[in-house]
Amino acid sequence: MTFVQLQTISANSLLKSPLTVTQYVQAAKERGYQAIALTDEQVTSGWLSFYQACQTAQLQAIFGLTIATQGLVLTDQAWPLLCFAKNEQGYRNLLKLSSHLMTHDTPPTLATLQAYLDDVAVVVPAEASELTLLLEQDPSQAQHYVTMLQQQCASLFGLGVTLQPAGQANRTALQALSHACQVPLIALEVVRYLNTTDAFSATVLQHIGTGTPLSNEAKQQVNQAGLHYLAPAAEVTERYQQADLAAAVAATEQLAQVCQVTLTLHQDLLPRFPVPGENTSEAYLKQVAQQGLARRFPDQTIPSTYQQRLDYELQVITKMGFADYFLIIWDVMHHAHQVGIITGPGRGSAAGSLVAYALTITEVDPLAYQLLFERFLNPERRNLPDIDLDIPDNRREELLHYVYNKYGQTHMAQIMTYGTLAAKQALRDVGRVLGLSQVALNRWSKAVPNTLHIDLKTAYDTSLKLRNLVSDSEHNQLLFKIAQQLEGLPRHYSTHAAGIILSNHNLTDYLALQSGSNGIELTQFAMGDVATIGLVKMDFLGLRNLSILANTLALVTQQLGRSFDVTEIPLNDPETLTLFQKGDTNGVFQFESAGIKRVLQTLKPTDFEDIVAVNALYRPGPMANIPIFIKRKHAQQHGHYPDAKIEAILAPTYGILVYQEQVMQVAAQMGGFTLGEADSLRRAMSKKQKSVIDAQQTAFLKGAQQRGYDATDAQKMYQYIERFANYGFNRSHAVAYSMIAFQLAYLKAHYPAAFFAALLNATGNQGQKTKRYLLEARQRHLKILAPNVNQSELDFTVQQQTIQFGLNSIHGLRKDYVQAILQARATGGKFHSLADYLRRLGDKWLKIADLEPLIYTNALRDFNPNRKALLNQAPELIAALKLSGTNQELLSELAPKPKQMFDFSLKEKLNFEAQYLGAYLSGHPVEKYAALSQHETFTNVPDLVPDQTVQMLVLIKRVKVIRTKRGQEMAFVTGEDATAELDITCFPEVYRQTVDLLVVDQVLWVTGKVTADRGQIQLIARRFQSADDLLQAAQTRLFLKIPATSPLRQTIPDLLKRSPGRSGVVIFEPDTGQKILLHRHFDVHLTESFVQQLKEILGKDNVALQRKAK
């Protein structure tokens, strides 16, 4: 007789247990258990991993659930019951029961759950149950409770009894009650953590869940042994036998014998499409695909190559049983296009399917771009199709609800994910529970490097600041220890960014559901478990760049007065290619980083294929091939090809294997593989499956020999494929995403106002991006207008070459206030004065706090361009309006008279604009020095790349002077250009030379080296100069009067090179009257001594300085 562990709460009961399923099963095996249960509170999210872990460990998995229902006697609150699946039907019933509980806010009565309790064993918990409280407070009601439970729950299996302290007091009473009611006792040990030493971390975790700090008393229990741990099975059995509860232990074995569930995994649960009429799904797919392909070739016969490809693909799809899947995706895309939702041209390998192109699921012609269907669906191995849909992120919900309404809540759901306690979050949460202040929590958080997915061990090993913090005190050591113990545990539920599942079966036959945030249920299983069951995931991805594209097209349509079809954009447009060649790709999908812009500037793409290749190559691994690619592009190096057929495959990428499809084509052409076999080879190479790779090498070399290839060439080619197959990129995906990039770049080149307005609408309140895009718009000579209550709409709008700020872009302005402004203007026309504005908005908005953002951003300039005067007038006017009500005569008496006063200074205006708009509309101080760009190349903050030496113009915002260990002064400087702020480090030597220049609000020219500290870009300064001095020099020209035949003309170049600088030099020839502006190479630094030296050589009347007209 061995005890079966029946009541275990895991980490899947969020923030109630630190015990993971893997730890639980592994420890249970080690501690002598043959069967164990998982009984999380209301949820089943751990069931599948629990089942698989138990199978691996050769343990029996018992599927349990802790539910909470309204009391039978104590009806004013909910009480727990344990439910266990007896068989597969019971398993399904518990899935439905959990779904019911997790989609309703109030605890149900037991009577309402009757339908879910067939084939389910119910046990009353031994702790914190309605029964235990009745035994303590009103024993006479206890038997009544059990009788009622027997009446409402025919599957009542037993009454829990425990030797854990919380249930000890009721043991005798329970034994009597069990005998009286003929309900057996069953031994229960509540397990919430693995070992006795885990109790304190479990307590901390529970307080994280409740959001409460630990009491001083609780903090003293840090070393106290816990009681809710997993004790060895033999030890538990012995304890109960010694307590005369051997029968209760035997009951655990009896329950295990009753609960026999075997799950069927990897089922074929493909959804079914509701086909009209008597059609089969295969026939209907063929019909709509044929019609769709015909529409791709209007006014002409479908080319035979396309018809043959369509027939072949349909044959494969039908044979593999995927017709319904294609029809479902087609239906979604068809609806999207009907309601005006723009969709991406394709994603992933699906763009290689002509059927998808015919159904307008994709917009990439696979034959035109040599894309392979077998990369998407391999007829030689049954892999589920994977068609991911890209949708504008602001319309994704619309499509989700269409699918939800079409198929119903029991057939469609979104996929759940967990948010976990990552390194910084774990430290902050534990610190908060231990009573740390916000300042202390920030200190801990900043000590962890800003590295993606970093764990606490790595952070400790790499951060001296963190190690010092941990070693400061025992309290800090405890905090760090507990954070490490809790790190990685699930913290909250979230919704998968893209995934949904569809099934023609009731989903709750396979998994449990819970309420989602948007009215669509979530699966309780995470994505991997959903796939393990056999349900098909579909990805509906919300793509911000498609929202930008859609918004741009809408603005262009307004400008043109007609619709603009993005699919008609020519992919060989010269202006767009020029934009790529310049690296002018801010706002262009996947081409915004400083690194990829440098590649474009060096490569200078001349066609769409070059852009596709850059998109594929600019990734870790294949990046190493970029220099070779560029050299071959510019004929500085040449590739080697075994023959013309291989050259045809590799020549478009200059002999470099860039795409996965090229790997497949080479394997087919040289090795004689079918494309299906070639895809299997590609997969094996990408997964480094050595046995498969070696076996396929033999087949490849044999096939190459049969096809007449030289053995050495074949060997080299196979080795080359093996080396680069893992780096090869999906060409179908690269073409589709490069198409989006080209479309955006085209709109930027031809309709910049619409493009930048859409871009600004998409940035929200991201100040740095807003500044960057506004600066670039101005550089294109677009006019930017501040918000205006008489002109602005909700978002940025366009009129010709003018971009008008939207009211929504003003920070601190409530959305309902913005709606009220727009509504008042729509019904009553423009506002004529501040009084008219306030009166029409109504009493609700008679608050100075609501007006201030509008005043500071100049949105009320139609009433008075003097912002300070408006701010001064507003409080008195609000008071007058409140007193006068609707009496206009009284208002004219009470209204304040205008006062003459100076407006805010430019500096104050800029600060207000930065605060409320995230950008400077009145002009950033560095823009005054734009003329310097004619002499120097300046880099903006967003374009900085580590290890580069750069020149910048920055406004000094803050200067912090410190002393080094040697007592030398140095400074940490915060500078800012028109796009973003930057940290600048000024070491002692540079600081000594420039200390007088480092003044707040001074614009300086700085050279330095770019570094990255924990992912944060910084500049190590090498030299500072006054921007005013440089501008003055740049605006001053040196005029030298020298006859054309004078021998002095030969000495002038060497003379000028003695004092290099930024002032231009003009030679005036009095005999010809000609003025010659010398090349910038001869610009000079105009010191007094240098000018005097020139006068001595040429004569004082032959040397003159002249300021250029501004």
The sign of the CA dihedral 488, 489, 491, 496 is positive
Supply the pLDDT for residue 248.
Answer: 96
CA 37 from centroid of its chain's CA atoms? 37
Half-sphere exposure of 59 (CA within 13 A, CB side): 27
Of 99, 986, 1063, 194, give the one whose Cα is nearest residue 511. Answer: 99
8 Å CB contact between 7 and 188 = yes
Residues in the chain: 1110
8 Å CB contact between 985 and 947 = no
Supply the pLDDT for residue 506.
Answer: 93
Q: Per the structure block, which two tokens stand in for 1011?
A: 């570094």
Average pLDDT for residues 514-521, to the nearest whole number?
Answer: 91
8 Å CB contact between 831 and 862 = yes
What residue ranges in 947-1026 does DSSP mark as E strands?
949-963, 969-976, 981-986, 1003-1013, 1016-1026
Q: Which of 14-18, 234-238, 376-380 has the lowest mean pLDDT?
A: 376-380
Supply the pLDDT for residue 851.
Answer: 94
**In angstroms, rounded to a whole number, what is the distance separating the alpha carbons of residues 627 and 702?**
34
Average pLDDT for residues 648-671, to the nearest whole number?
Answer: 90
**Of all residues in the chain, what percent carry a pLDDT higher than 70?**
99
Backbone angles phi, psi at 901, to 5 degrees: -160, 160
Alpha helices in 15-78 (DSSP H): 21-30, 47-57
Mean per-residue pLDDT over the chain, rounded: 91
CA 684 from centroid of its chain's CA atoms? 30
8 Å CB contact between 192 and 199 = no
CA 189 from centroid of its chain's CA atoms? 43
Per-residue confidence band for 882, with pLDDT thresholds at 50, 70 and 90: confident
Using a 10 angstrom Cβ sphere, with 0-12 exposed, 13-18 middle and 19 or more buried, the burial of residue 776 is: buried
- Please report, to the nearest 10 degrees, the dihedral formed by the alpha carbons of residues 360, 364, 365, 369 taken in order: -170
**6 or 1055: whose pLDDT is higher?**
6
**504 or 524: whose pLDDT is higher?**
524
Supply the pLDDT for residue 380.
Answer: 81
Per-residue confidence band for 1015, with pLDDT thresholds at 50, 70 and 90: low
Per-residue confidence band for 1100, with pLDDT thresholds at 50, 70 and 90: confident
Per-residue confidence band for 71, with pLDDT thresholds at 50, 70 and 90: very high
8 Å CB contact between 952 and 958 = no
Amino acid symbol at 86: K
**Contacts of 931 by beta carbon, 8 Å cutoff, 6+ apart:** 1031, 1034, 1035
Supply the pLDDT for residue 392.
Answer: 95
**In angstroms, rounded to a whole number, what is the distance separating the alpha carbons of residues 971 and 984?**
8
Average pLDDT for residues 562-575, to the nearest whole number?
Answer: 93
CA 304 from centroid of its chain's CA atoms? 44
Q: 3-state DSSP call for residue 842?
A: coil
pLDDT tens-digit series, residues 1036-1071: 888 888 887 778 777 788 888 888 877 888 888 887
Q: Which one of 561-565, 922-926, 976-980 scores highest in mean pLDDT? A: 561-565
Q: Per the structure block, which two tokens stand in for 491?
A: 């913290």
Beta strand pairing status for 949-963 and 981-986? unpaired
User: What is the set of domains in the chain, with CATH numbers?
Assistant: 7-194+229-258 (3.20.20.140), 281-417+495-545 (no CATH), 569-619+733-748 (no CATH), 633-728 (no CATH), 751-915 (1.10.150), 925-1029 (2.40.50.140), 1035-1107 (no CATH)
Supply the pLDDT for residue 1110.
Answer: 52
**Of all residues in the chain, what percent carry a pLDDT higher than 90?**
64
8 Å CB contact between 65 and 117 = no
pLDDT of 770 over the 90 cut: no
Of 344, 337, 338, give the one whose Cα is nearest residue 387. Answer: 344
Average pLDDT for residues 689-697, to the nearest whole number?
Answer: 80
pLDDT of 43 over the 90 cut: yes
Amino acid symbol at 465: K
pLDDT tens-digit series, residues 100-115: 999 999 999 999 999 9
Average pLDDT for residues 787-804, to the nearest whole number?
Answer: 94
- Beta partners for residue 708, in sequence order: none
Instruction: Compute the radius of gyration of the chain from its Cα atoms.
Output: 37
703-724 per-residue burial string, b: 16 or more CB within 10 A, e: under 16: bbeeeebeeebbeebbebbbeb
**In angstroms, rounded to a whole number, what is the distance separating the alpha carbons of residues 131 and 127?**
9
Of 693, 770, 746, give the one whose Cα is nearest residue 580. Answer: 746
CA 978 from centroid of its chain's CA atoms? 26
pLDDT tens-digit series, residues 319-365: 999 999 999 999 999 999 999 999 999 999 999 999 999 999 999 99
pLDDT tens-digit series, residues 385-417: 789 999 999 999 999 999 999 998 889 999 999
Per-residue confidence band for 1109, with pLDDT thresholds at 50, 70 and 90: low
Half-sphere exposure of 971 (CA within 13 A, CB side): 26
Residue with tokens 């960057």: 772
pLDDT tens-digit series, residues 420-462: 999 999 999 999 999 999 999 999 999 999 888 899 999 999 9
Per-residue confidence band for 228, with pLDDT thresholds at 50, 70 and 90: very high
Residue with tokens 């949105």: 859
Half-sphere exposure of 327 (CA within 13 A, CB side): 23
Q: Per the structure block, which two tokens stand in for 303?
A: 């080319």
Half-sphere exposure of 222 (CA within 13 A, CB side): 13
Helix axes 423-433, 438-447, angle to 10 degrees: 150
Of 861, 860, 871, give the one whose Cα is nearest residue 901. Answer: 871
pLDDT of 908 over the 60 cut: yes
